[in-house]
Amino acid sequence: MRIPRLRALVFDFDGTLARPALDFPLMKRRLAGLARDLLPGDVLGVDAVASALPALEWIEQLAAAAAPQRAASFRDRAHALIRDMEREAAART
C-alpha cells in the first residue's frame, strides 16, 4: 500500500478555520499565579488581565524583572505550564 505524500500543512493560529480550544485568559491567570509564587518581591502587582502582551512575551517581561536564578526557574515552569495546557487542549479537540 502506498502512503500519500503530505502536500500541505495548515496552521490556524487565530481561529479562522477552527474553534480554538486554548483558554488564553486562563493561561495568563495561571502564569500570573506562577509569577507570584516563584518571583515574590521581584514582580509586584502581577496582573494577567492588565498585560496586553501575548503569553510568551509576557513571560520574558516578567523574567527580565527577576533575579537571574529565579528568572530561569520561572521561564522553565512557565513554558511547561503552557505545554501542559496545549496538550490538554489538543486532547479535547
Domain locations along the chain? 24-92
Residue 88, Cβ neighbours under 10 Å: how many? 12
Write the CB contacts of 25 (distance below 8 Å, at least 6 apart in sequence).
48, 49
37-62 pLDDT tens trace: 888 776 666 665 557 888 999 999 88
Burial of 92 (0-12, 13-18, 19+ CB in 10 A): exposed
> What predicted TM-score, i.e. pTM, was given to this entire model?
0.75
